[in-house]
Amino acid sequence: MIAEAGLAALWLAAALAAMQFVLAAIGVRRVLAAPDDESALTTDLIGAVRPVAIVQGALAALAMALLIAVFLRSDMSVLLVAENSHSEKPWLYKFAGAWGNHEGSMLLWVTILGLAGGAVAIFERSLARATVTATLGAQALIALGFYAFLLFASNPFARIDPAPADGQGLNPLLQDPGLAFHPPTLYIGYVGISVAFSFAVGALVARDVGPAFARAMRPWVLGAWIFLTLGITAGSYWAYYELGWGGWWFWDPVENASLMPWLAATALLHSVTVLATRDGLRAWTVMLAVVAFSMSMIGTFLVRSGILTSVHAFAVDPTRGSFILVLLVLYIGGALALFATRVGTVRAGNTFDLVSREGALVANNLLLSVILGVVLIGTLYPIVAAGFGVQLSVGPPFFDKAAGPVALLLVVVMAAGPLLRWRRDGWRALAARLAVPAAACAIVLAAVLVVAGGVSLLPLLGLALAAGLGVASVAPLWGRNLIRTPLFTWGMVVAHLGIAVSLAGMASESAFTKQTLVAARVGEPQQVGPYTVTLTGISPVIGPNWSALEAHLTARRGDSPAITLRPQSRFFTNPVTVTSESAIATRWDGQLYTVLGQIDGAGRVQLRLWWKPFVTLIWLGGALVALGGALSLIGRLLRERRARHRAEAEAWT
């Protein structure tokens, strides 16, 4: 009965989403036709939207909780459980198995969407009633499409008869604690973008595009951006240590599917700040909200349509992919049509000089848009070519050459932007403020050329610009009282510093990595970077639902104490899969990364060894970026709360 209860909750949530949309549409129409209309009917229509949105979110959450329950109970009469779980799996992977598949992940998507709509209904009190009601109506319409997708094309509660004794098991690559929490993190980011999109649609419908709308939307964009940053960073580290290939980014289509919304959300975040604080970039902000949600939908379509092959794509039938494609066309096409019809009502807002902080933010947005275009073209081009019978792939060389130089130019703009004044500034003043960061760039550039000549151009420039950006990032704190500096200023500093740290890690890993691929015998020492690695033995190991061969490695760096590493080659029976479990030793200046391969007929063991200087800076930088976003979010919320309290106090005096 648990599955039937989950399906019933899903149907009820869908019905309430339909009701929410209808109530919002009628109510907004009446308010726009007569803004002073305070009749009981209009008040009731508008007033009913908020509670309906809250109950709808609660029912979606109930459906997700019941799906998790059938996974934890290993109820093999539910088709989804039988296909994606096994009674012998550890409980964590039964739990995560609820969303480690197509249907469950879509239910998680719509659950977060419903909860976000409920949160908007509860907390958003600053916008005009027509704007917030139209926003909730747009949110309901998005949810309605995904409810229909689940109920008519991807039912997560479908039964099978007879039920198998045991299931087929979850993909072993996904049986990792990091992957148990990575998808929810990304989905919160995707859904946060959908809320920003709904705010943009609501503002267009109510003809209310202005600073108030931007201030209401900004926390959602910041929240989505924080979770996307965390999700991408965690996904990158998971691929690094779990897949055994030694890399942290492969420009895989599914990786790109998460990167594209992040790029658009980053541009939107800067644009919405200008609109909220300086009343500029009105139309650009609305358009970026549409573009960001479009990237989220395109990513959803790519991952679930079955048109691409990836280690973490949900390869399903094209029919269901077509359903998502239709939703994408309806939502994005509808939003663009609405934008076209209402753009004349969106006032230009305040203007600014080219040399100003607003000008730097516009340049920042344009460069982010160029990188987004490169990633989008590189991701979609093989798919379009396949439609014409041409099989090809677009890999790291294309993305590195096309997006790398633009990204470095973006770093220069990032360094200059916070040092500029709002509205108007001068080239000479900017040059003076950039003198110290430029000196840091020059020092690092010279040091690398002298100490480690032969480094290729992009990593070399990356190391130099990382130093300059790091210095420029903390420059806004010079001469300030650090205790009284606003929290959102700290957030900007920490986020930009995180980009510098991450860039330093990427450039260092690219410039200085050493690799050794060898067929080794027991007792034979191998050299990789500053380490001497010796295979001392190999033994069988038994896990909870796998068996493995485990290599015993001893690594020494000069006279330092020995390090023991134990990489494994694991064998799973449900489903039958062999995976490589890398063993990694982390030190202050990098990581020693080891992978066990096959054993040949002569008794030699294949080993892959890497020494990766400062590679951990990549993920440390990602964590700093997310921390900066969190500080900004808290700072903005506290400032708006204080402003609201002051306004209320003044109203009573």
Q: Where are the domains of the chain?
A: 1-171, 176-350+360-394, 422-456+464-512+617-652, 514-615
Q: Angle of helix 129-153 relative to helix 318-342, nearest 10 degrees?
A: 160
Question: Which of 608, 537, 533, 544 is closest to 570 using CA atoms?
Answer: 544
What residues are paired with 607 via a beta bridge? 518, 596
Whole-number pLDDT of residue 307: 61
Give me the phi and psi of 559, to 5 degrees please: -95, 10
Give me the phi and psi of 277, to 5 degrees please: -100, -25
CA dist 505 and 444 (Å) reads 14
Q: Hey, what amino acid is at 20?
A: Q
Provide the b/e sequence for 214-226 (b: ≥16 CB within 10 Å).
bbbbbbbbbbbbb
On whether the CB atoms of residues 366 and 391 are closer than 8 A, the answer is no
Whole-number pLDDT of residue 457: 92
Spans of the chain, pLDDT less than 70: 304-319, 347-348, 653
Write the pLDDT tens digit of every residue in 110-145: 999 999 999 999 998 888 889 999 999 999 999 999
Whole-number pLDDT of residue 348: 67
Whole-number pLDDT of residue 67: 97
Q: Angle of helix 40-72 relative to helix 129-153, nearest 10 degrees?
A: 40
Whole-number pLDDT of residue 318: 62
Question: What's the pTM?
Answer: 0.92
Write the pLDDT tens digit of every residue in 427-467: 999 999 999 999 999 999 999 999 887 889 999 999 999 99
Whole-number pLDDT of residue 335: 83
Structure tokens at 483: 């205790």
Whole-number pLDDT of residue 246: 86
Whole-number pLDDT of residue 208: 87
Write the pLDDT tens digit of every residue in 254-265: 889 889 999 999
Structure tokens at 457: 């151009």
